[in-house]
Structure 1
Amino acid sequence: MRERAVINRIAVLAMHTSPLEQPGTGDAGGMNVYVAQTSRRFAANGVEVEVFTRANAPDLPPVVEMVPGVTVRHVPAGPPELDKNDLPTRIAEFASGVVEAGQDGFDAVHSHYWLAGQAGIQAKRAWRAPLVHTAHTLAKVKNAALAAGERPEPLARVLGEEHLAAAADRLVVNTEIEAAELRGLYRARAEQVLTIPPGVDLDCFTPGDRAAARVELGLPVDAVVPAFVGRIQPLKAPDVLLRATAELLARTPSLRERMVTLVVGGPSGTGLDQPELLQRLAVELGIADVVRFLPPRSGAALAQVYRAADVVAVPSHSESFGLVALEAQACGTPVAATAVGGLPVAVADGVSGVLLPDHVTERWADALAGIALDPVRRASMSAAAVRHAARFSWERTTEGLLAAYADAARTEVGACTCTS
Structure 2
Amino acid sequence: MPSPTRLPFRPVPLRRPTAGAPPVRRVAVLSVHTSPLRRPGTGDAGGMNVYVRELARRLALDGIEVDVYTRATGADAPGTVPADPGVRVRHLRAGGSGPLAKEELPGVLAEFTAELARTAAAERRRYDVLHAHYWLSGQVGLALGRRWGVPLVHSMHTMARTKNAALAVGDRPEPRERILGECALAARADRLVANTATEAGELARCYDADPARISVVHPGVDLAVFHPGDGRSAARHRLGLPQDAFLPLFVGRIQPLKGPDVLLHAVGELLARRPDLAARTVVPLIGGASGTGALRPDGCRELAARLGLGERARFRPAADRAALADWYRAADVLVMPSHSESFGLVALESQACGTPVLAAAVGGLPVAVRGGVTGHLVEGHRPADYAAVLERLADGPGERERLGRAAVRHAGGFGWDACASATAEVYAAAVAERRALAALVPAAC
TM-score (norm 1): 0.98
Candidates 60, 65, 88, aligned match of 1:71:
88
Pairing 1:19-418 to 2, within 5 Å after superposition? 19-79=36-96, 80-103=98-121, 104-208=125-229, 209-418=231-440
Task: State how far apart, in whole Å, the 1-side matches of 2:394 and 2:362 are.
Answer: 23
SS at match of 2:238: helix
SS at match of 2:311: coil
C-alpha deviation, 1:144, in angstroms: 0.4
Task: State how far apart, in whole Å, the 2-side matches of 1:35 and 1:260 are.
Answer: 33
Residue-by-residue CA offset, 1:190-226 (whole Å, 9 max, x unaligned): 1100000101111111013111111111100111100
Task: State how far apart, in whole Å, the 2-side matches of 1:64 and 1:127 are.
Answer: 24
Task: State how far apart, in whole Å, the 2-side matches of 1:58 and 1:307 are.
Answer: 39
SS at match of 1:289: helix
Equivalent residue for 2:35?
A: 18
Amino acid of the structure 2 residue aligned with 1:105? R
Task: State how far apart, in whole Å, the 2-side matches of 1:99 and 1:142 are.
Answer: 32
C-alpha deviation, 1:130, in angstroms: 0.9
Identical pairs, percent: 52
Task: State how far apart, in whole Å, the 2-side matches of 1:205 and 1:368 are.
Answer: 24
Contact kept, 8 Å, 1:247 with 1:362, in 2: the verdict is: yes
Amino acid of the structure 2 residue aligned with 1:84? K
Task: State how far apart, in whole Å, the 1-side matches of 2:48 and 2:34 are.
Answer: 8
Amino acid of the structure 2 residue aligned with 1:319? E
SS at match of 1:202: coil
Q: Could you list the runs of 5+ residues in structure 1 that have no partner in the other structure?
A: none
Task: State how far apart, in whole Å, the 2-side matches of 1:60 and 1:396 are.
Answer: 33
Task: State how far apart, in whole Å, the 1-side matches of 2:405 and 2:393 are.
Answer: 13
Task: State how far apart, in whole Å, the 1-side matches of 2:355 and 2:22 are.
Answer: 41
Q: Across the two proteins, how many residue pairs are aligned to each other?
A: 420
C-alpha deviation, 1:34, in angstroms: 0.1
Amino acid of the structure 1 residue aligned with 2:419? T
Amino acid of the structure 2 residue aligned with 1:56? T
Contact kept, 8 Å, 1:320 with 1:341, in 2: the verdict is: yes
TM-score (norm 2): 0.93
**4+ residue segments displaced more than 6 Å:** none
C-alpha deviation, 1:289, in angstroms: 2.0
C-alpha deviation, 1:369, in angstroms: 2.0
Task: State how far apart, in whole Å, the 2-side matches of 1:100 and 1:415 are.
Answer: 28
Give the CA RMSD over aligned residues: 0.9
Amino acid of the structure 1 residue aligned with 2:261? D
Task: State how far apart, in whole Å, the 1-side matches of 2:323 and 2:314 are.
Answer: 16
Equivalent residue for 1:4?
A: 21
Residue-by-residue CA offset, 1:63-94 (whole Å, 9 max, x unaligned): 11111211111111102221211101111111
C-alpha deviation, 1:3, in angstroms: 2.3
C-alpha deviation, 1:2, in angstroms: 4.5
Task: State how far apart, in whole Å, the 2-side matches of 1:372 and 1:396 are.
Answer: 36
Contact kept, 8 Å, 1:279 with 1:288, in 2: the verdict is: no
Task: State how far apart, in whole Å, the 2-side matches of 1:57 and 1:251 are.
Answer: 49
